[in-house]
Amino acid sequence: MRNIALIGMPATGKSSVGRQIALVLGLPFVDMDETIQSREDATIAEIFERHGEPHFRAIEEALIAEVTQAPGVVATGGGVVEREQNLQALRGWGWLVALIASPEAIARRVGRADQWPLLKGQVVENLQKLWARRSSKYLSADLVVDVGHEDVDGVVRKILGFLAEREPVASIDVNPGKAQPYRAVVGRGILGLLGHYAREAGLSGRAGILASPAAARRHGEQICDALQGAGLDPVLIEVPAGESVKTWESAGGLYGRLAREQIDRTGCLVAMGGEEVLDVGGFVAGTYMRGIPVVHVPTTLMAQLDSCIGGKVALNHFRAKNLIGFLHHPRLAVADVAAVGGSGARSMREGFAESVKYGVIADADLFAFLEAHAAELLDESGQRLPELVAWCLRTKARFVEEDEEGVGRRMLLNYGHTFGHAIEASTGFHRYTHGEAVAIGMTLAARVSAAMGLACESLETRQSALLRRFGLPTDFSGVATSRLVEALWRDKKRQGASLRFVLPNCVGRAEVRGDVPIELVARVLGEHGAAPERAPGA
Amino acid sequence: MRNIALIGMPATGKSSVGRQIALVLGLPFVDMDETIQSREDATIAEIFERHGEPHFRAIEEALIAEVTQAPGVVATGGGVVEREQNLQALRGWGWLVALIASPEAIARRVGRADQWPLLKGQVVENLQKLWARRSSKYLSADLVVDVGHEDVDGVVRKILGFLAEREPVASIDVNPGKAQPYRAVVGRGILGLLGHYAREAGLSGRAGILASPAAARRHGEQICDALQGAGLDPVLIEVPAGESVKTWESAGGLYGRLAREQIDRTGCLVAMGGEEVLDVGGFVAGTYMRGIPVVHVPTTLMAQLDSCIGGKVALNHFRAKNLIGFLHHPRLAVADVAAVGGSGARSMREGFAESVKYGVIADADLFAFLEAHAAELLDESGQRLPELVAWCLRTKARFVEEDEEGVGRRMLLNYGHTFGHAIEASTGFHRYTHGEAVAIGMTLAARVSAAMGLACESLETRQSALLRRFGLPTDFSGVATSRLVEALWRDKKRQGASLRFVLPNCVGRAEVRGDVPIELVARVLGEHGAAPERAPGA
C-alpha cells in the first residue's frame, strides 16, 4: 500500500480527512501545519509575521523530507505545491490527493480567515489569486476531489475507493454453479479498504466481526473503522482460537450472541482469523436466520491461499473432523498478506504445503515459481506473497467453478489428504499440523504413484526437495502400520465407496485412483516411518 | 389403497410374494390353499382324493366371499380363475395380479409335484393343458408378471411399482430455483410404497429413519420393510416428540448417532413425524457430511399440507423460534393421509388452519372447497383429505417456485403469522397451538385490512365462519395489549425493516403492507381479546 499526501486549497478539510484515512489504513498521520505550529510554538500567522513566508516554506520543505522517510498519511499546508521539489518528494513517496473547491465555497467554509495569512482581506479575491497560481499543480494530482458538495465521510470514501482501484491488488472472481459469484481480493496493507470492498459487494447494515483473540487484537479496531467508514455498523465478537472454536457447542453459543447484538438478515458476518474461524463463521452465517452473507478475512497463509474461497464450511465432531458441514460461499474474501505476519513460521509452512499441492495437482508453472522463489517467500518481508496467494486462489477458483459440490475434479484438492488424515488421526491431531501431515501425505502418494508406474521420474525428487526447502517433513515416526491402515479404512467407510487416492502423474497433473493395492499402501507407510508391527505381548 | 389378489399358475411363488407385499403395505395376508388345508386338516391332494375337485372349488368360493369382506392381500389357489364368479368377486375387491411362467420353467421349479394334484404324471404336459385352459384368465389380470427370470424380491418390486403408478395418488412437482426438482406424493395407505418412490427418486444405500416415538411405533416396521424391499438399508432412529427435538443440543446428538449407524454420503435420511421432526431431520441431513438427501414422511396434517415441501429447515433458540436454519429441500415427500389418524383432533385443526390460509391468500376455489366439505374433512374417515393435502401442496409449490428464498411473493405464506407469533410468544407458546394462533392472527389481519379499507365485504365473515367450523379460535384472552405490541416490535427488529403485515384483500388474494398504523394494531388487538392496560400498581 502506498502512502498518501493530501494537498489542496485552504479550508478544504485536509486535516480531518487525513486523520480518518490514516485511522482506516492503520498508518501514522502527520498534519504539517499543526506539527510546525507546535514545534515553533507559534501560529502560522505569527511565523509569517515574524520570519516571512520564505522561512516558513523552508521549514515545510525540511518537514516533508522528514515525513517521507516512513509510511504514513500526511496533510500538507496549502502552499506546499508551490515548490516543485516538494511535489517530487511527495510523489516519490505516495499517492498525491488534492482537495479542491471553488473560492466561493471555500469562503463560505472559512468564515473568519484569521488562521490563513494569505486570505486576509478580500477572501474570495485572494482565493481566486491562489487558485490561479496553484490550480495546475492541484489538477495534476493522482486524485482530485471537489469537496464543495461532500462531507468528510464522503471525501474519505472517495479516496478509499480510489485506493481500492489503484493499489496493486489481485482480484480473483469465483463463479460457483449455484451460489452468487463473488471475488477474492489479495494485496498488502489492504485491510483498511475492507469497507470499500464490502460496499462494492453490496453489503450493508449491522456487521458482526467474528475474530480470534490474536486477529481481534491486531486488526479489530482497524477493520471496525474501515467498515464504519463505509457506512456499515460493525461489532467485534471475539471467539476462541484454534480448533476449539469449531465445536458444535462453540458454534451454538454464537447464535444468541448475534441475536443479542441485533444482527439480522439485513446485515452480515465477517470471519477474521485462521481457517477454523472461517469455518465456524461460514457455518453460523449460513444457518443464522436462514442464512446471511459472510465475508472472509483470512489471517493465516493457508486460510488465504486455500480456505477463504470455495464455500466449504464445517464443524468438528469427536467422531470425525468436519463431519458437520455444508456449502455456504462467502460474499467476499479479502486476503491482506500483511496480516499473516504474526501467525508464526509453522503456520506459514502450512500455507506453503498447500501451495505445493496446487502446483503438483494442477499447475507446473506455479510449482516452478515456488522452486524459483522459495527463499524470497520464506523471507520475513515476503514480497512475493501476494503473487503466491493470488496464484493459488486462481487455481482453486477454477476447481470450484468446474465442480462446486466436490464430487468430480475438485476431489484432486484432496491430494496428500488421505494419508495425511490417517497420520493426523493416528497421532491424535497433536504431533503434526494439518499442513505437515499433508506434506508427508503428498510424499507417500507420490511414492505410491511411482511404485505403480504412474509417475514421471523427477516428480518425487522435485516435490520432496521443495517441501524440505519450506521446512516441511517428508516422513514421520512412531506410528504402527496397522493403526494407519485402520485409520485409512475408517476414511473409506465414511466415503461409502472404495478407498481412493489422488496420485500425481507429474508436476502439474494428478488423477484419482481406486485401485491402489493395500499391500503397497502398507509397504510405503513402512518405508516412510510407520513402525513395524510388534508381536502381541512383545 | 386397493387390495391385492394374486392369481397364477402353480409354483409361481404366489404365497411368498403375497406375504411380502402384505408386510410392506401393512395389510393382513391370506394364503388360500394354506387356510383351506388347515381348516380341513388335510392336504389339498387328500381333499381332492377324498371329496373330488368340485368340493374343493366350493370351499374355495366360500373362502373368497369371506376374505373379500376386509382389506388385505390374498394368494389364491391356481384354479380359482376357472370360476368366473370368483374372478368377479376378486376384481370388485382389489387389483388382480397374475404370476405366470412357461410350463418348462415351472416344471424346473416344481421338482416333485406331489402337492399339486393336477400336475401328477407328465408335469410339463399337464402344465401345458392347464395353461391352455387358464391363460386367457391370467392374461386379463390388472398386472401380469412373468416370474421365469425374477426372484421373489424382483416380483415384489414390480408389483409395488405397478401400485405406485396405478393407485389414485396425487403427485406434486416442486421446482425450486437452485435445488434439484423433487416431488411430493399424496395418497391413502401409500406408506408401503415408500421404497418404490425412494428408488424412483434415485435414493439408495443406508437410510436413517428419524421418527418420533408415535410415528416409530405406528409405522416404523412398515417403512423399514418398504425401504428394505426396495434395496435400501434402513435403520430406525427414534427422536423425542414435539419442540424438544428442535433444539441445538438435540440436533447435535444426532450426528454421532448417524456416524455410529454408518450412514454416509451414499445414503439418506428419512424424517417421519410432525413438522418438528421434519425440521430437525432436514437440518441435520443438510449439514451431515456436507449434506445428504432427506425424505419427508409427514404424519400430521399440517406437516403434510405445508411443511413437507419448500425446504425451510430450522432449529429453535431460546431467543427466537426457528432462529437457526437454512434451505435444504427434500429429495422426496410422501404424505399418506392414513398416517394422520393418530395425531388427534387438535393437531388436525392446526392443519385446517393452514389450509384456510392458503385459500385466503391464493386460491378462492380452495376456500370454497373447504366451505363445501368442512364436515367431510372433519369426519373420522376423512375421505376428502388427500384432495385437500394435494391442493394445498400444489398451491405452496407455486409459491416456492416463484420465490425460493422467501423474500418476495413467498412472504404471503406468513399470513396470520405476524399476529400469531406475537400471541404465541406472549403466552409462552403453551396456551395456543401454532395453528390456533395463526387462526387468531388471520382474524386480526382481516380486521386490520377491513379497517384500512383494503378488504372486500364478505372476507371477514366467511373466514371467521370457516375457522369456527373447523373448531378454531378467532379471538383470545388475557394478554395485555402492551405485551403483544412489544412482541410485534421484537419481530420487526428481527426482520431488520419496518413491521410488515400480510393483509387479505378478498378470498384468494392478499398483499404485504408496511404502512399499518400502530394505533390500529393496538385497537384491533383490544377488540379481539387483549386485556386493557392496567394502571401501574393497580
Does residue A144 sit in helix, strand or coil? strand
Nearest CA in chain A to B318: A256
Helices and strands, number each (H, E), in chain A: 21, 18
- What structural domains does chain A harbor? 3-165 (3.40.50.300), 169-343 (3.40.50.1970), 403-527 (1.20.1090.10)
Contacts of A260 in chain B (CB under 8 A): 319
Smallest CA–CA distance, residue A484 to chain B, in Å, is 20
Contacts of B257 in chain A (CB under 8 A): none
Residue keyed to cell 378467532:
B474
Please judge whether A255 and B318 are an interchain contact, meaning their C-beta atoms are less than 8 angstroms apart.
Answer: no
Does residue B144 sit in helix, strand or coil? strand
Smallest CA–CA distance, residue B325 to chain A, in Å, is 5
Q: Look at residue B485 in the predicted model and tell me its pLDDT.
A: 83
Q: Per-residue pLDDT averaged across A501-515, rounded?
A: 93
Query: At A319, is the pLDDT very low, low, confident or very high (cuts 50, 70, 90)?
Result: confident
Of A252, A288, A325, the CB nearest to B287: A325
Q: Are B352 and B367 in contact (CB under 8 A)?
A: no
How many cross-chain Cβ pairs, A to B, lie less than 8 Å apart?
97
Q: Look at residue B512 in the predicted model and tell me its pLDDT.
A: 92
Which CA distances in Å does A333 have to A198, A272, A306, B465?
A: 9, 10, 11, 56
Of A267, A287, A406, the CB nearest to B325: A287
Quote the pTM value: 0.80
Contacts of A288 in chain B (CB under 8 A): 323-324
Contacts of A262 in chain B (CB under 8 A): 493
Task: Kindly report, residue by residue over A392-425, the tens digit of the pLDDT.
Answer: 999 999 998 887 776 678 889 999 998 998 898 8
- 3-class DSSP string for B470-537: CCCCCCCCCEEHHHHHHHHHHHHHHHCCCCCEEEEEECCEEEEECCCCHHHHHHHHHHCCEECCCCCC
Q: Per-residue pLDDT averaged across A78-87, rounded?
A: 88
Please judge whether B266 and A496 are an interchain contact, meaning their C-beta atoms are less than 8 angstroms apart.
Answer: yes
Smallest CA–CA distance, residue B409 to chain A, in Å, is 17
Q: Which three cell numbers stand for residue A201?
A: 459487494
Give the CA-trace dihedral at B83, B86, B92, B93, to 10 degrees: -150
Nearest CA in chain B to A324: B288
Contacts of B325 in chain A (CB under 8 A): 287, 289-290
Q: Look at residue A532 in the predicted model and tell me its pLDDT.
A: 66
Picking from B180, B206, B289 by the largest number of A CB atoms within 10 A of its own CB, the best residue to mutate is B289
> Of the spans A99-113, A115-129, B262-276, which averages the highest pLDDT?
B262-276
Please judge whether B326 and A286 are an interchain contact, meaning their C-beta atoms are less than 8 angstroms apart.
Answer: yes
Q: Look at residue A338 in the predicted model and tell me its pLDDT.
A: 87
Q: Which residues of B358-394 are buried (b: 16+ CB within 10 A; e: fewer)?
A: bbbbbbeebbebbeeebeebbeeebebbbbbbbbbbb
Write down the H helix ranges in B261-344: 275-287, 301-302
Nearest CA in chain B to A491: B264
Nearest CA in chain A to B289: A323
Please judge whether B262 and A493 are an interchain contact, meaning their C-beta atoms are less than 8 angstroms apart.
Answer: yes
- 3-class DSSP string for B149-175: HCCHHHHHHHHHHHHHHHCCCEEEEEC
* Confidence check: pLDDT of A535 > 50: no
Give the phi and the psi of residue A246 in degrees, each rounded to 5.
-95, 20
Contacts of B207 in chain A (CB under 8 A): none
Q: Look at residue A15 in the predicted model and tell me its pLDDT.
A: 93
Of B290, B312, B323, the CB nearest to A326: B290
Contacts of A205 in chain B (CB under 8 A): 496
Q: Look at residue B460 in the predicted model and tell me its pLDDT.
A: 95
In A, what residues contact B, Cβ < 8 A? Answer: 178, 205-206, 248-249, 252, 255-256, 259-260, 262, 264-267, 283, 286-291, 312, 314, 317-320, 323-328, 406, 493-497
Picking from B203, B204, B326 by the largest number of A CB atoms within 10 A of its own CB, the best residue to mutate is B326
Q: Look at residue B204 in the predicted model and tell me its pLDDT.
A: 94
Of A252, A259, A496, the CB nearest to B320: A259
Residue of A471, A446, A501 whose CA lies nearest to A350 = A471
Q: Are B283 and A343 in contact (CB under 8 A)?
A: no
User: Over chain B (538 residues), what is each successive 10-residue block's mean pLDDT?
Assistant: 87 91 86 93 90 91 93 90 90 91 84 60 83 90 89 88 78 88 90 89 96 93 89 95 91 95 94 96 96 96 95 90 93 93 87 96 94 88 85 92 77 92 84 92 96 94 97 88 82 63 94 89 86 54
Please judge whether B252 and A256 are an interchain contact, meaning their C-beta atoms are less than 8 angstroms apart.
Answer: no
Comparison of pLDDT for A104 and B437, the residue scoring more = B437
Nearest CA in chain B to A288: B324
- Can you say how many angstroms the Cα of residue A154 is from the centroid of all Cα atoms in its chain? 25
Contacts of B252 in chain A (CB under 8 A): 248-249, 252
Q: Per-residue pLDDT averaged across A339-367, rounded?
A: 92
Contacts of A62 (CB under 8 A, 6+ apart): none
B520-527: long-range contacts at Cβ-Cβ below 8 A with a sequence spacing of 24 or more? B520/B448, B520/B451, B520/B452, B521/B448, B521/B485, B521/B488, B522/B481, B522/B485, B523/B451, B524/B444, B524/B447, B524/B448, B524/B451, B525/B419, B525/B444, B525/B481, B525/B484, B525/B485, B526/B481, B527/B447
Q: Look at residue A537 in the predicted model and tell me its pLDDT.
A: 43
Spatial separation of the C-alpha atoms in residues B385 and B388, rounded to whole Å: 5
Smallest CA–CA distance, residue B502 to chain A, in Å, is 19
Contacts of B53 (CB under 8 A, 6+ apart): B79
Of B205, B318, B324, the CB nearest to A287: B324
Q: Look at residue A492 in the predicted model and tell me its pLDDT.
A: 63
User: Looking at the predicted complex, does its ipTM rise above 0.90?
Assistant: no
Task: Kindly report, residue by residue over A419-477, the tens digit of the pLDDT.
Answer: 998 898 888 778 899 999 999 999 999 999 999 999 998 999 999 999 999 999 999 88
Work out the mean pLDDT of chain A and round it to a whole number. 89
Angle separating helix axes B518-527 and B434-451, nearest 10 degrees: 120
Please judge whether A319 and B259 are an interchain contact, meaning their C-beta atoms are less than 8 angstroms apart.
Answer: yes
* Confidence check: pLDDT of A80 > 70: yes
Spatial separation of the C-alpha atoms in residues A482 and A488, rounded to whole Å: 10
Please judge whether B291 and A327 are an interchain contact, meaning their C-beta atoms are less than 8 angstroms apart.
Answer: yes
* Confidence check: pLDDT of A113 > 60: no
* Confidence check: pLDDT of A538 > 50: no
Please judge whether A256 and B317 are an interchain contact, meaning their C-beta atoms are less than 8 angstroms apart.
Answer: yes
Write down the H helix ranges in A415-532: 417-426, 434-451, 459-469, 481-495, 518-527
Spatial separation of the C-alpha atoms in residues B265 and B296, rounded to whole Å: 18
Q: Are A511 and A442 in contact (CB under 8 A)?
A: no
Comparison of pLDDT for A123 and A308, the residue scoring more = A308
Q: Are B75 and B10 in contact (CB under 8 A)?
A: no
